[in-house]
C-alpha cells in the first residue's frame, strides 16, 4: 500500500468565509486544482490526476467536461499519426 503524505497549508478562516466553503470543500477544490495543473503540464497521467483529486477516472473526466477543460491534448505530429493509423484501418 502507498504511503500517504499529509501536506498542511495555512489558510485564514476569512478566506474560507469569503469563498463560502467549508474546510473539506476547500480541500477538495485545492486537490482538484493541483491534480488538473499537474495533468495539464503532463507531469501525471489522467488516472493519477483523478486519484489525486479524489475521483474515479470517469468522474474526473466528467468534471473536466463540466468545467470545459481539455481532456486529451495532442501535438500536431500525434494527430497526424492517429489519422494515418485510422487510414490504415480503413484499408483492412
Can you tell me the mean pLDDT for 20-41?
94
SS3 7: coil
Q: Is residue 26 part of a domain?
A: yes
pLDDT at 42: 87
Top-confidence residue, 77 or 18: 18
- The answer to whether residue 8 is domain-embedded is no
Is residue 38 classed as helix, strand or coil in its secondary structure?
A: helix
Give residue 1's pLDDT.
Answer: 52
Nearest CA to 71 out of 33, 43, 51, 45 is that of 45
Q: What does residue 2 show for φ and ψ, rounded to 5 degrees?
A: -70, 145
Q: Which residue has the higher pLDDT, 60 or 80?
A: 60
Q: Which pLDDT score, from 0 to 100, does residue 89 have?
A: 72
Q: Look up the pTM and report it.
A: 0.72
State how many domains the chain has. Answer: 1
Q: Which of 29, 65, 21 is nearest to 46 (CA)?
A: 65
Q: Determine, yes or no, domain membership for 50.
A: yes
Full domain range(s) for residue 75: 13-91
Q: Classify residue 4: in a domain, yes or no.
A: no
Amino acid at each position: 500500500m502507498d504511503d500517504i503524505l499529509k501536506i498542511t497549508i495555512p489558510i485564514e478562516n476569512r478566506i474560507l468565509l469569503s469563498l463560502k466553503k467549508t474546510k473539506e470543500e476547500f480541500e477538495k477544490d485545492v486537490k482538484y486544482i493541483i491534480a488538473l495543473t499537474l495533468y495539464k503540464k503532463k507531469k501525471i497521467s489522467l488516472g493519477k490526476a483523478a486519484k489525486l483529486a479524489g475521483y474515479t477516472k470517469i468522474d474526473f473526466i466528467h468534471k473536466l467536461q463540466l468545467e470545459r477543460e481539455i481532456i486529451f491534448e495532442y501535438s500536431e505530429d500525434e494527430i497526424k499519426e492517429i489519422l494515418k493509423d485510422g487510414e490504415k484501418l480503413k484499408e483492412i
